[in-house]
């Protein structure tokens, strides 16, 4: 079923827009004039992808920098965990006392990165519709 989710004026080239349709969170992406619709939530840890960045057709999650191809929904890389150690002048890494980042890193390594779903988009006049 085609549902109007936005107007074309709301989504400039290179822009993204999060919309809710039938209780689903969808992200519209304008890749150089072509509009694509994907899940708004990251296939890794559910972070909102509209806070990430869109470069061409590659959408980067703001949380762990997993990238998705918005034309296919394919996850392209593994998460990049933020560097939490500090380095002394001689290059040795010091650990944070409570070991929390290491503990979380070990847990995160068991979380699989899934592809995100894509939705067919049709632009009719000034209206963006998705098939959902």
* Contact footprint for another protein (CB under 8 A): 55-56, 58, 67, 69, 72, 74-81, 83, 85, 87, 91, 93, 113
Quote the least distance from Cβ 9 to another protein, whole Å: 27
Quote the least distance from Cβ 10 to another protein, whole Å: 26
Kindly tell me which of 93 and 124 has the beta carbon lying closer to another protein.
93
Quote the least distance from Cβ 92 to another protein, whole Å: 9
Kindly tell me which of 50 and 69 has the beta carbon lying closer to another protein.
69
Please say whether the beta carbons of 13 and 55 come within 8 A: no
**E strands in 1-125:** 2-7, 16-21, 24-31, 34-39, 53-55, 58-60, 67-69, 74-75, 86-87, 93-94, 118-119, 121-124
**How many Cα atoms are found within 13 Å in the side-chain-facing hemisphere of 88?**
6
Kindly tell me which of 11 and 54 has the beta carbon lying closer to another protein.
54
Measure CA of the first residue to CA of the last residue in the chain; give whole Å. 6
Quote the least distance from Cβ 76 to another protein, whole Å: 5
Kindly tell me which of 23 and 90 has the beta carbon lying closer to another protein.
90
Please say whether the beta carbons of 6 and 21 come within 8 A: no
């Amino acid at each position: 079923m085609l549902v109007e989710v936005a107007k074309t004026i709301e989504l400039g080239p290179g822009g993204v827009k999060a919309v809710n349709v039938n209780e689903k969170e969808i992200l519209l992406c304008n890749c150089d004039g072509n509009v694509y619709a994907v899940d708004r939530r990251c296939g890794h840890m559910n972070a909102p992808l509209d806070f990430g960045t869109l470069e061409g057709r590659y959408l980067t999650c703001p949380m762990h920098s997993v990238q998705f191809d918005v034309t296919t929904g394919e996850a392209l890389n593994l998460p990049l965990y933020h560097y939490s150690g500090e380095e002394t002048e001689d290059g040795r890494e010091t650990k944070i006392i409570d070991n929390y980042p290491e503990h979380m890193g070990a847990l995160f390594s068991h979380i699989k990165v899934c592809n995100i779903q894509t939705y067919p988009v049709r632009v009719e006049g000034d209206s963006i519709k998705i098939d959902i």
